[in-house]
Structure formats: C-alpha cells, structure tokens
Structure 1
Amino acid sequence: MSVISQLDQLVAVCHWIGARGWAPATGGNMSVRQDSAFCLISESGKDKGALTRDDFIQVEIASNQVPSGRRPSAETGLHTLIYRLFPDAGAVLHTHTVNSTVLSRVEKGAALELQGYEMQKTLTGQHSHLDCVPIALFDNDQDIAALAARIEQFAAQTPLRYGFLLRGHGLTCWGQDVNEAKRHLEGLEFLFQCELQRRVLEAK
C-alpha cells in the first residue's frame, strides 16, 4: 500500500480517535512510516479529530530532523524510537485516555499485566486468555530524549510488544500498518477499561 493510502487511513483513524475523546484538547500524536528513512507525524497543537493530510510533517527517523522546519509533536522522539527499534512498525498511535492515564498511576509495578480476558486475542500473536500480556510502564518525563533513552535501554533487555504506558500520561501503541495499530489501540483500551473496573469492584 502506498504511503498516501496509509496516510489517508491514518487521518481517518485520527478522526475516529477524536470522536471517542481519546485525544482531548489537541493532545496525543499519530504517525505513519514513509520509508526506511522518514516518517510522517502529526503537527503540534492540532485537534486530532480534525486533522488533514497537510497536518502531517516529514521527520527523519535516525535524527529527528525536520526538513521543512515545521514543528512536529513534542513526543516525536518516541515515534522515531519505535520505528528504529521495530523495522516492521508502520504506524504509531499515542492517546490520552482516562483509562490508560488512571491505570498508569494506580499500577505501581514496572508493567500492567493483563490476563484472563478473551479480548487479549485482538493483539497480534495472542491466542489465549490464559496468557499474561505485560504492558510496560515508564515514569513520565518532559525530557523526551531522556525518556526515549530509558525506553530503548529497557527494550534491549525485555521484549516490548504492542505498546507502553507513561505514568499519568497515556498509551503509545503501534502496528505493522495503520489498521493493525488501530486494532491494538482499540483492544488495549477495552482491556484497560475492564481492568480498571475490575480493580474498582474488587476494592469495594
């Protein structure tokens, strides 16, 4: 599929995300791989529910340089890190949902472990609700370069699949293409909602 087709799909997914309130107040950022050297990422400060093709900026994956001089999302360095770590990653979605934000603060461990949910099978490679699916958790940091370095160090020792959470911030997830990234986002958000509700009920 051409990068234009992928970008059009990404724009549609951004509108879908916006309609669900998953990237409120211009929060969040989305990108698609253009080729081995470049990705296209959403411009900073744009309403994700109203993005157009022109709101995406070309960024060099290896250096984070922007040939056009425009200002991409503040978390650009996390997107380029994912494209460097995972050569098969074709799209990255970063959202600010209530479920992911609250769970990222409630869970004190190094990962949010999901187990026992049939919907785990929405994640590529998962075939049973009996499996434990760990979603890595990292402390938030306004220094994106430092945060990216911590995530890269973690990934060198521990498999990083589907996505990760930033405490008090939200979810970043990816897939081989836009459709897979969307499926991972929707599946993880369903699982987060179930897990959060389970914890609330068990605490009563």
Structure 2
Amino acid sequence: MTVLSQLDQLVATCHWIGAKGWAPATGGNMSVRQDDRHCLLSESGKDKGSLTSDDFIQVEIASNHVPSGRKPSAETGLHTLIYRLFPQTGAVLHTHTVNSTVLSRVEKGNALILQGYEMQKTLAGQHSHLDSVAIPLFDNDQDINALAQRLEAFHQHTPLRYGFLLRGHGLTCWGKDVAEAQRHLEGLEFLFLCEMQRRLLEAK
C-alpha cells in the first residue's frame, strides 16, 4: 500500500476519532510512517476531527527535524521514538479519552493489567482471555525528551507492546499500518471502559 493511501486512511481514522470525542478540542496527535527516515505527523493545534492530508508534516525520525519549518505536535519525540524502537510500525495514534485518562490516575502501579476479557484478542498476538495484557503506565512530563528517554529505558528491560498510558493524559498506541493501529485503539478503549465499569461496580 502506498504512503499516500496510508495517509488517506489516517485522515479517515482521525475523523472517526474526532466523531467519537476521543481527541477533544485540539488534543491528540497522529502519524504515519512515510519511509525508513521520515514520518508524517499531525500539525500542532488542529482539530483532529477535521484534519486533511495537508495538515500532516514531514518529520525526520532520527532527529525530529522538520524540513518545512512548520510546527508538528509537541509530542513529536514520542512518535519518532516508537518508529525507531519498532521499525515495523506504520502508524501511531495518541488520544485523550475519559476512560484512559481516569484509569491512568486511579491505577497506582506501573501498568494497567487487563485479564479475562475476550476483546483482548483485538491486540496482535493475543489469543485468549486467559492471558494478561499489561499496558505500561508512566508519569506525565512536559519535557518530551525526558519522557522519551524514560520510555526507551523501560523498553530495554520490559519491551513495549501495543501502547502505553500517561497519567492524567491518555493513550498512545501503534500498529503495523493504520488499520492495525485503529484496531488496537478501539480494542483498548473497549477494554478500558470494561475495566472502569468493573472497578466502579466492585467499589459499591
């Protein structure tokens, strides 16, 4: 599939995300790999529900350099880190949903553990509800370079898969292409909703 068609798919996914209210105001950021050296990343300050292909900016993966001089998302360094860590990654999605944001604050451990849900099988490589899926959880940081360094250090001893949560911030997830990244996002959000409801019911 060509980069252009992947970008068109990403624009459609952004509109889908916007319609669901998963990137309110100008929150969130999305990207697609252009080639081995570049990705195309959503421009800062744009409503994700109305993005066009012209709202994506070329960024050098190795250096975060933007040849055009335009302003990509403030979290560019997290996208490029994922593309460097996982050369097979074709798209990255970052959303600000209520469930991911609240769960990231309620969970005090260093990961949100999901277990017992059939929908875990929406995640690549997951085959049974009996398995457990750990979504790593990191403290938020306005210093994106420092945050990227913490993520990379974590990955050295506990490989990242599917995505991660930032406390009080939201979910970042990825996939081999736009379709898989969208499936991971939708599956994880369903699982987060189930986990939120389970915790609320058990607290009564």
Residues of 1 paired with 2:108 and 2:35: CA distance? 38
Aligned counterpart, 2:35: 35
Alignment of 1:1-150 (within 5 A): 1-150=1-150
1:129-175 superposed Cα distances (whole Å, 9 cap, x missing partner): 00000000000000000000000000011021000000000000000
AA matched with 2:80? T
Residues of 1 paired with 2:20 and 2:177: CA distance? 21
1:57-110 superposed Cα distances (whole Å, 9 cap, x missing partner): 000000000000000000000000000000000000000000000000000000
**Structure 1 moving runs of 4+ over 2 Å:** none
Instruction: Quote the sequence identity (%).
Output: 84
AA matched with 1:21? G
SS at match of 2:41: strand
AA matched with 1:25? A
Residues of 1 paired with 2:202 and 2:19: CA distance? 31
SS at match of 1:184: helix
Shift of 1:33: 0.2
Residues of 1 paired with 2:140 and 2:26: CA distance? 19
Aligned counterpart, 1:192: 192
Residues of 2 paired with 1:202 and 1:159: CA distance? 31
Measured on the aligned residues, the alpha-carbon RMSD in Å equals 0.3
Shift of 1:22: 0.1
SS at match of 2:165: strand
SS at match of 1:148: helix
Residues of 2 paired with 1:133 and 1:149: CA distance? 23
AA matched with 2:172? T
AA matched with 1:74? A
AA matched with 2:180? E
TM-score by length of 2: 1.00
Residues of 2 paired with 1:118 and 1:159: CA distance? 23
Q: Mark the runs of 5 or more structure 2 residues left unpaired by the alignment.
A: none
Query: Do structure 1's residue 182 and structure 2's residue 182 form an aligned pair?
Result: yes
Residues of 2 paired with 1:58 and 1:156: CA distance? 28
Aligned counterpart, 1:160: 160
Work out the number of aligned pairs and report it.
Answer: 204
Residues of 2 paired with 1:84 and 1:196: CA distance? 32
Residues of 2 paired with 1:59 and 1:109: CA distance? 34
